[in-house]
Amino acid sequence: MSENFATSYSYKLFCDESCHLEHDSSNVMVLGTICCPEESVEKINRQIKALRYQHSYKNELKWTQLHFKQIGFYKALIDLFLETEALRFKATVVLNKKALNHEQFNQGSHNNFYYKMFYYTLRDFLEPRNHYNIYLDYMDTQGRDKAKKLMEVLHNANFGQVNIATYIIRSHESQLIQLCDLLIGALSYSNRTDIAHESKVKNELVDYLVLKLCHRLDMGTPPWEQKFNIFRFSPRGTIC
């Protein structure tokens, strides 16, 4: 088949970030993305809303606001993600964030490093000729500038061969951004060495996710892992 007539597909990428600021209290940074074919998003949203109704869960889902009485709902979401073939997840975990040398490697800018890490997070989902709508959680008034810059970075890295559009939305508007928040929250919690891991609900959720994945969250996965890919980065290089 001629390349001009090759089949193309449309995907939606739902992104979230944890501890991404340069000077916060965390020694790790996590960027995560859930990738879903566009035609599957509506069905999955309905399934998540059905779980919300079943478990009487009305609030926005946030890792920082978990309640043990809702542990059944959180586990049901993990099951839905793992059992839904259309959903794929990739995260970049930056270790020992305070040891980063931006002057030497990132032109003195934490923002430059941030975009590099987001590129690593998204690159495995991007293929020529396909169309991607990327949804970023609204974090601050600089969100539109970040979205524009990220789109430029991705276009340049793919030599303009990937059709990309970026959007800033509020996390409460997206069931899949909230699910992404849950997954990156579990990764951040598992990889932080600067906190006491004393939360009963968080420990049980991490243990449940590890049991289902048959893989620890404080270790990287092989590059070819499709369902739940973890890329770990340290100031001294990548860690598998």
pLDDT > 90 in the chain, percent: 57
Averaged pLDDT, 49-75: 97
Main-chain dihedrals φ then ψ at residue 187, nearest 5 degrees: -65, -45
End-to-end C-alpha distance for the chain, whole angstroms: 38
Hey, where are the domains in the chain? 14-239
d(CA 230, CA 85): 18
The reported pLDDT for the residue numbered 99 is 52
CA dihedral (69, 183, 217, 118) in degrees, to 10, reads -160
Tens digits of per-residue pLDDT, 150-203? 777 787 777 567 888 888 888 999 999 999 999 999 999 999 988 899 999 999
Q: What would be the CATH architecture of the domain defined by 14-239?
A: 2-Layer Sandwich (3.30)
**Chain centre distance of CA 37:** 16
Report the 10 Å Cβ neighbour count for 180.
28
Tens digits of per-residue pLDDT, 117-148? 888 899 899 988 899 999 988 665 565 677 77
d(CA 175, CA 80): 12
d(CA 26, CA 192): 7
